[in-house]
Amino acid sequence: MPAERAPTPVIRPMVNRDSAYFWEGTRKGELRIQSCNACGALRHPPGPACPECGALDRGHVVASGRGTVFSYIVHRHPPVPGKELPIVIALIDLEEGVRMVGEVTDVADDEIEIGMPLQVDFNEVDDDLTLPIWTRVPEEGK
């Protein structure tokens, strides 16, 4: 009888009072962006105070989950626990006007390009962690 293998370790994000709403959203299949309840400014990454007006009254909006590649890197070394190399990581311009870093999972390292449209998807790692991942937008008619 084969021995049980331990689950592959995954680097887990730090969850704190500024980012808990974001991770609660990913578990529900929502991409959330922090908003200021005082002036309406959106920001990512989240923080305690609005950089526009200084207010501490935070909320969030649910993003469309669509954006385009602003910039990218292809991570080839060193190995990353729980990941197969190479890893395509992009800085995505969201339709809402903020940028977010994320892994692009279905685009080869030699196919990714600036301006490529992407959409969010979610990778349920376990009961406590769902990560946003990015995939290419299907071409119309396909």
State the residue for tokens 């292809």: 74
Tell me, yes or no, whether 91 and 105 share the same domain.
yes
What domain range is 43 assigned to? 15-62
Tabulate helix, strand, coil % of the chain (nearest 5): 5, 40, 55
Distance CA 44, CA 46 (A): 5
* Spatial contact of 55 and 62, defined as CB atoms under 8 Å apart: no
Tell me, yes or no, whether 54 and 118 share the same domain.
no
Domains in the chain: how many in total?
2
**pLDDT tens digit sequence for 95-139:** 999 999 999 999 999 999 999 999 999 999 999 999 999 999 987
Q: Residue 50 above 70 pLDDT?
A: yes
* Spatial contact of 102 and 90, defined as CB atoms under 8 Å apart: yes
pTM to 2 decimal places: 0.88
Tell me, yes or no, whether 52 and 72 share the same domain.
no
- The per-residue pLDDT for 8 is 60
